[in-house]
Amino acid sequence: MDNIAGKKSSLTWAVHISVALLVLLWLLPTIGLFVSSFRTADQISSTGWWKALFPTEQTLTLRTKTAEAQTQENGVYVIEGNIYEDDPAGEGKGEADITSWGISSRDVSAFAPGDTAELRGGGTLTLEASGAYRMESVEEFSGSRGQRVFVTAEVPPEFTLENYETVLLSGNATDSMAKAFFNTLTVTIPATIIPILIAAFAAYALAWMDFPGRALLIAFVVALLVVPLQLALIPLLKLHLGIGIGKGYLGVWLAHTGFGMPLAVYLLRNYMVGLPRDIIENARVDGATEFQIFVRIILPLSFPALASFAIFQFLWTWNDLLVAIVFLIDATGDTTVMTRQIVELLGTRGGNWEILATAAFVSIAVPLLVFFAMQKYLVRGLLAGSVK
């Protein structure tokens, strides 16, 4: 009796838990990227994003004032100040109480607040929990740089918008992520619309028009789905260079169109062939031409499939790096897309993970918006033709 149609399975709870776990696994990296985009470099390097709301213990490398700031008191040379205020690297950490400190990288926690350390060049250094310090020496301090001090402190949570200002607004016009954002839109929008327009006509012909070789053409389109695009990159680039459309937007639009056409034709043809035949035959009896049937009947009814492919094509072209590198060779940066800009940030900035996290989140923001806005059409388009 457990297999009666319409009766819920006893394992429904397991399905729900599995789906929830899968959603959580996909959602956690995005949340982590979003939180990290608002954190400072010190916080990212010291703790994970899941500890962003709690105080963190950080070890900072700070310096005291230089020898030019010394004064003489009773025959003793003295340098006084606050370690947080005297070093730009300590800005914003003034409320953090120091738990330990040191003057050697081998032992960054050698001293407790209030202890006095013997300096290598002579003299002593006393550091308090608030960051206030006092250096004393019977001989005059020398050197163009202050004394290096390793400070370990409990730093309160800190969030900033400077990462987004750096990514979107800083730098000249060719290095700005904002320019790369608009370059990506320039590539993605035409590369999504062009294959849809062409594939819609082709899919209608393969679904509702009789002509010799139609079955072979459908089989050829299906076969093209399994051909890796890497095989066609170099021959296609040589063709583009030969006809004068290489290294530009037109070349990358046509490349994305060619690589996306097999999936577009296959998806749209499967959807259109499942539309009611009576509607099309009645339209032909009424005197409608094939073009009128296509524009006034097929296209409105095929909107879920069109939207489904548009989502796939938009996400693929937006996140593409390989085709952009091959067909948008640009030394000036005028056509640099976001994926390549992020790679350049990784290569030039090294460990500035807060910048990379912000740039990555800016890059995925638009695809997320497109997906959530059109996800109902994605499901309807993918399920087209699965049942009759």
CATH number of the domain bearing residue 188: 1.10.3720.10
Q: Which two tokens stand for residue 358?
A: 């912000």
Segment among 57-61, 232-236, 350-354 with least mean pLDDT: 350-354
Q: How many alpha carbons fall within 13 Å on the CB side of residue 44?
A: 21
Same domain, 237 and 340: yes
How does the average pLDDT of the chain come out, rounded?
Answer: 82
Given this model, what pLDDT does residue 200 score?
92
pLDDT bucket at 171, cuts 50 / 70 / 90: low
Contacts with 283 (C-beta within 8 Å, 6 or more apart), sequence order? 292, 293, 297
Q: Which of 137, 156, 175 is the last residue of a domain?
A: 156
Same domain, 224 and 319: yes
User: The tokens of 285 are what?
Assistant: 């009896």
Mean pLDDT, rounded, for 118-143: 88
190 pLDDT more than 90: yes
The answer, yes or no, to whether residue 58 has pLDDT greater than 60, is yes
How high is the pLDDT of residue 172?
Answer: 47
Q: Which of 156, 190, 224 is a domain's end point? A: 156
Q: How far is CA 193 from the centre of its chain?
A: 23
Q: What is the mean pLDDT of residues 178-197?
A: 89
User: Per mean pLDDT, which of 50-54, 167-171, 187-191 is the most reliable?
Assistant: 187-191
With CA atoms as reference, report the closest residue to 168 among 182, 179, 178.
Answer: 178
Q: Which has more confidence, 354 or 276?
A: 276
Task: Name the more confident of 387 and 267.
Answer: 267
Q: Do both 150 and 108 map to the same domain?
A: yes
Whether residue 229 has pLDDT greater than 50: yes
Q: What would the mean pLDDT of 356-379 be, rounded to a whole number? A: 78
Of the two residues 380 and 318, the one the predictor is more confident about is: 318
Confidence band, pLDDT 50/70/90 cuts, at residue 188: very high
Is the pLDDT assigned to residue 222 strictly greater than 90?
Answer: no
Tens of pLDDT, residues 231-250: 888 888 888 888 877 778 88
Taking residue 347's Cβ as centre, other Cβ atoms within 10 Å add up to 8
- Tell me the per-residue pLDDT of 287-296, one tens digit each, with 9 for 90 and over: 888 889 888 8
Q: Which residue has the tokens 């091959």?
A: 326
Give me the half-sphere count of Cα atoms (radius 13 Å) on the Cβ side of residue 60.
28
- Same domain flag for 232 and 349: yes
Q: What percent of the chain is predicted at pLDDT more than 70?
A: 87
Domain assignment of residue 12, yes or no: no
Same domain for 123 and 42: no
Q: What tokens does 324 get? A: 């952009």
Higher confidence at residue 332 or residue 42?
Answer: 42
Residue 193 — very low, low, confident or very high, per pLDDT cuts 50/70/90? very high
Q: Which residue has the higher pLDDT, 350 or 12?
A: 12
* Residue 6 is assigned to a structural domain of this protein: no
What are the angstrom distances between the C-alpha of 272 and each of 193, 292, 376? 19, 15, 18
> Do 347 and 232 lie in a common domain?
yes
Contact 263, 227 (CB under 8 A): no
115 and 176 part of one domain:
no
pLDDT at 16 over 70: yes
Tell me, letter by letter, the H, E, C secondary structure of the chain: CCCCCCCCCCCHHHHHHHHHHHHHHHHHHHHHHHHHCCCCHHHHHHCCHHHCCCCEEEEEEEECCCHHHCEEECCEEEEEEEHHHHCHHHCCCCCCCEEEEECECCECCCECCCCEEECCCCCEEEECCCCEEEEEECCCCCCCCCCEEEEEEEECCCCCCHHHHHHHCCCCCCCCHHHHHHHHHHHHHHHHHHHHHHHHHHHHHHHHCCCCCHHHHHHHHHHHCCCCCHHHHHHHHHHHHHHCCCCCHHHHHHHHHHHHHHHHHHHHHHHHCCCCHHHHHHHHHCCCCHHHHHHHHHHHHCHHHHHHHHHHHHHHHHCCCHHHHHHCCCCCCCCCCHHHHHHHHHHHHCCCHHHHHHHHHHHHHHHHHHHHHHHHHHHHHHCCCCCC
* Residue at 13 is within a domain: no
The pLDDT value recorded for residue 387 is 46
Q: Tell me which residue range forms the domain holding 238.
A: 166-382
Q: Does the pLDDT at position 77 exceed 80?
A: yes
Same domain, 205 and 231: yes
Q: Point out the domain boundary residue: 117, 136, 156.
A: 156
- The dihedral formed by the CA atoms of 201, 202, 204 and 210, expressed in degrees to the nearest 10: 130
Average pLDDT over every residue of 130-152:
88
pLDDT score at 386:
46
Q: What pLDDT sits at residue 1?
A: 46
Interval 244-270 mean pLDDT: 86
Give the contacts of 55 (CB within 8 A, at least 6 positions apart): 154, 155, 156, 157
Same domain, 192 and 231: yes
300-340 confidence digits (pLDDT tens): 888 888 888 888 899 889 988 888 888 887 655 677 888 88
Confidence at residue 383, expressed as pLDDT on a 0 to 100 scale: 56
Quick one: 229 and 105 in the same domain?
Answer: no
Look at residue 358 and tell me if it is in a domain: yes
277 and 350 belong to one structural domain: yes
Asked whether residue 3 is domain-assigned, the answer is no
Q: What is the pLDDT of residue 198?
A: 92
Same domain, yes or no, for 23 and 64? no
Classify residue 230 as left (phi > 0), alpha (psi -120 to 50) or beta: alpha
Check pLDDT > 60 for residue 102.
yes
Structural domains of the chain, count: 3
